[in-house]
Amino acid sequence: MQQFLRKYGVQTTIHFVLYEVDGVDLRVNAVDAGADCTITKDEGAETTCANDFADEGTGYSLVISATEMEFAEGMIYIVDSATKQWLDEVLKIETYGHASAMHAMDLDTTVPTVGEIQAEMEENAASILDSISDLLPASTIAAASDIPAMVGTNGANTTTPPTVGEIQTEIEENGASLLDTIRDAIQHGTYGLSAIETLVDELETRLSAARAGYLDNLSAGAVALASALTTHDGKLDTVDGNVDAILLDTGSDGVVLKAAGLAADAVDEILDEVIEGTITFRQAMRLCLAALAGKTNTGGTVFRNTGDSKPRITATVDASGNRTAMTLDGT
The three-state secondary structure class of 160 is coil
Which DSSP state fits 327?
Answer: E
Taken as a whole, the chain contains a residue count of: 331
The reply to whether 158 falls in a domain is no
Higher-confidence residue of 181 and 30: namely 30
Structural domain range at position 271 = 265-328
Residue 55 amino acid letter: D
Cβ within 8 Å of residue 159, ≥6 positions away: 150
Within-domain flag for 57: yes
In a domain, 148, yes or no: no
How many domains does one find in the chain? Answer: 2
Taking a C-beta distance cutoff of 8 angstroms, is the pair 107, 96 a contact? Answer: yes
In a domain? residue 163 = no
Residue-wise pLDDT for 24-73, tens only, equals 999 999 999 999 999 999 999 999 999 999 999 999 999 999 999 999 99
In a domain, 121, yes or no: no
Output the pTM of the full model: 0.38
Q: How far, rounded to the nearest angstrom, does the alpha carbon of residue 127 sit from its chain's CA centroid? A: 59
Is residue 299 a part of any domain in this protein?
yes
Whether residue 58 lies inside any domain: the answer is yes
| Segment 192-217, tens digit of pLDDT | 777 888 888 888 888 888 887 787 77
Q: Which residues contact 29 (CB under 8 A, 6 or more apart)?
A: 55
Q: The sheet that has 73-78: what strands, in order across it?
A: 2-7, 89-96, 73-78, 37-41, 47-48
